[in-house]
Chains A and B, each alone.
Chain A
Amino acid sequence: MGKVLMKGNEVIGESAIKAGCHYFFGYPITPQSELVAYMAKRLPEVGGLFLQAESEVSAINMVYGAASAGVRVMTSSSSPGFSLKQEGISFLAAANLPAVIVNIARGGPGLGNIQPAQSDYFQVTKGGGHGDYYTPVLAPSTLQEIVDLTQEAFRIADQYRTPVILLGDGVLGQMMEPVEFKETSEEMHLFEKDWATTGTVGDGPPKTITSLDLNDVSLEERNRKLQEKYETIKDQEVRVESYKMDDAIYGIVAYGTVARIVKSAVDRAREAGMKVGLIRPISLWPFPSSYIRKLSEQLQLNKLLTVEMSAGQMVEDVRLSVEGIVPVHFYGRNGGVIPTVDEIYQEILKLKYGVMV
């Protein structure tokens, strides 16, 4: 297949379908509505089911139902709508149900606005709903990467029986870029789901899927198993990219849209002779902590700078990663404002020359 020019939201939809997801329950909200519209159009064409629920809460619970039946299923929203899904995500995590949930984040808190933001980082990486759980979070920074990571999201969801979050923002959702879809039928990882509640036909005891467990001892055991699963995910599913870090003495940490802007700023700083590079976490949970720590030690980095479209959320994970061995600076814009290449370049200069007058 050749390259096609598509909007990010549509790329997510097509990638999901190519990954074998034929069920989508959603509710429109800017800046992710094109994804809902795309699924409404495309799913009937591939024999799937699209349903626009009456609210985000009911959409996520429809996902719970479809996941229980063992199919690949997805829902999507943007920040305020994503908050409404949190109860359901906690239920999915507790019931060990695989599903992919997309958040094309926008400025908050509250209803905020419809411009791009990264201020849902805490919410998506620290559980977000009630109880002790985590969800793997994948954060693409180009539309081509959306193609790969959407498929990975379904693989991770099925392999570990967990909800997985694909995190983007308004820029990634709205922009167009050429993408190439691979023919996935050969490589597509489909998992045997012997736990799915598809009805017994006299072949054994009935199966149940529930997040309710009134017995404290067995609920603790459930929690222990969940935590064990999270340890395996932390061990196996870390993704990170570095750019021009080989001889760097300053490292910029950024993800998603901001990582692209930082790349441009890094190029400019390199032209000005500064030894600076980019560390781009792709999985936000599990966070590439040991990678950042080791790189900081090996290169004897002088300073790290975290850039986000938030008041400073991922920067906490960066600081926890390096445990004080290297100072971590922060630059952020929020409320839907996107940091410019020039602003970030100025921040890089500050790393070298201190605060500019």
Chain B
Amino acid sequence: MKEEIIIAGFGGQGVMSMGQILTYAGMKEGKEVSWLPSYGPEQRGGTANVSVVISDKTVGSPIIDSPSTVIVLNNPSFEKFEPLVKAGGKLFINSDLVTKKSERIDIEVIDIKATSIADKVGNPRVAGSVILGAYIEKTGIITRDSLITALIQVLGVGKNHLISVNEAAFDAGKNILLENV
């Protein structure tokens, strides 16, 4: 098993944290993991992205050329990363924010109105967690328990009041995926 994920959006959408949650969760499950942020000037006003590798074997390159999964949270990220998804891979889209449509037939496209769903569970800013919930349901890479453990770790003591709303968002993401099947 080797999952190579790129998560991309605007700075402030929680892209880096989403990556950290997956990385922590992978580590907790005893898998080999790496987390590499984009730290270039592109972060300012453009897209921020993070590359996460979760694998059974030692991680070679932490840099991902052809991701098995891409999660995009804005149009510029869609344009940049949609073409890179490996054939047979998955593309998760927050379709509240991304207006572009993928025409690729060799990948699985999962459209989720993540911001609307997040709004319903109580906070539009947990849209990322909605997608993570759908992501683990779809791929089975990480268990829900590990994701929650990682969430608590990443939020830290200062933000632990956000645990329950994120947890609700994970479940809402999972449910929307099950409804659509």
> Smallest CB-CB separation from A114: which chain B residue?
B40
20 new A-B contacts, CB < 8 A, other than A113-B41, A176-B35, A177-B33, are A5-B20, A5-B24, A5-B27, A5-B35, A113-B40, A114-B40, A170-B39, A174-B36, A175-B34, A175-B36, A175-B62, A176-B34, A177-B35, A177-B59, A260-B60, A264-B60, A264-B61, A336-B40, A341-B61, A342-B66
Q: Return chain B residues, CB-CB under 8 Å to A5.
A: 20, 23-24, 27, 33, 35
Contacts A/B (CB < 8 Å), 25 sampled: A3-B27, A5-B23, A30-B39, A31-B39, A113-B40, A114-B41, A115-B40, A170-B39, A174-B37, A175-B34, A175-B37, A176-B20, A176-B34, A177-B59, A260-B60, A261-B61, A261-B63, A263-B60, A263-B61, A264-B60, A340-B65, A341-B60, A341-B61, A341-B65, A342-B65
> Smallest CB-CB separation from A336: which chain B residue?
B40
Which B residues between 72 and 129 are near A, CB-CB below 8 angstroms? none
Distance A302 CA – B63 CA, assembled complex (angstroms): 29
What are the 3 closest A-B residue pairs judged by CB atoms, nearest first?
Answer: A264-B60, A176-B35, A261-B61
Asked if A267 and B60 make an inter-chain contact with CB atoms under 8 angstroms apart, the answer reads yes
Q: Return chain B residues, CB-CB under 8 Å to A3.
A: 27
Q: Footprint of B on A, CB under 8 Å?
A: 3, 5, 30-31, 113-115, 170-171, 174-178, 260-261, 263-264, 267, 336, 338, 340-342
Instruction: Scan B49-65; emit 1 where CB is below 8 A from any A CB, else 0.
Output: 00000000001111101
Asked if A171 and B36 make an inter-chain contact with CB atoms under 8 angstroms apart, the answer reads yes
Instruction: Scan B139-176; emit 1 where CB is below 8 A from any A CB, else 0.
Output: 00000000000000000000000000000000000000
Q: Return chain B residues, CB-CB under 8 Å to A260.
A: 59-62
Asked if B39 and A174 make an inter-chain contact with CB atoms under 8 angstroms apart, the answer reads yes
Main secondary structure of the interface of A (DSSP, over half): mixed
Min CB distance, A58 to chain B, in Å? 27
Min CB distance, A125 to chain B, in Å? 24
Asked if B35 and A114 make an inter-chain contact with CB atoms under 8 angstroms apart, the answer reads no
Distance A260 CA – B57 CA, assembled complex (angstroms): 13
> Smallest CB-CB separation from B34: which chain A residue?
A177
Q: Return chain B residues, CB-CB under 8 Å to A336.
A: 40
Q: Return chain A residues, CB-CB under 8 Å to B24.
A: 5
Min CB distance, B16 to chain A, in Å? 10
Distance A175 CA – B51 CA, assembled complex (angstroms): 9
Q: Return chain B residues, CB-CB under 8 Å to A341.
A: 60-61, 65
> Smallest CB-CB separation from B27: which chain A residue?
A178
Min CB distance, A62 to chain B, in Å? 28
Min CB distance, A105 to chain B, in Å? 14
Q: Return chain A residues, CB-CB under 8 Å to B33.
A: 5, 177-178
Distance A263 CA – B62 CA, assembled complex (angstroms): 11
Task: Select the residue from B27, B39, B66 with max chain A CB neighbours within 10 A.
Answer: B39
Distance A176 CA – B52 CA, assembled complex (angstroms): 9
> Smallest CB-CB separation from B66: which chain A residue?
A342
Distance A261 CA – B60 CA, assembled complex (angstroms): 6
Distance A115 CA – B35 CA, assembled complex (angstroms): 16
Task: Select the residue from B20, B37, B62 with max chain A CB neighbours within 10 A.
Answer: B62
Instruction: Scan B19-36; emit 1 where CB is below 8 A from any A CB, else 0.
Output: 010011001000001111
Distance A261 CA – B118 CA, assembled complex (angstroms): 38
Distance A326 CA – B103 CA, assembled complex (angstroms): 49
Distance A285 CA – B75 CA, assembled complex (angstroms): 47
Q: Return chain B residues, CB-CB under 8 Å to A174.
A: 36-37, 39
> Smallest CB-CB separation from B33: which chain A residue?
A178
Q: Return chain A residues, CB-CB under 8 Å to B65.
A: 340-342
> Smallest CB-CB separation from B19: which chain A residue?
A176
Q: Return chain A residues, CB-CB under 8 Å to B34.
A: 175-177
Min CB distance, A39 to chain B, in Å? 19
Distance A113 CA – B59 CA, assembled complex (angstroms): 27
Distance A115 CA – B20 CA, assembled complex (angstroms): 21
Distance A116 CA – B6 CA, assembled complex (angstroms): 19
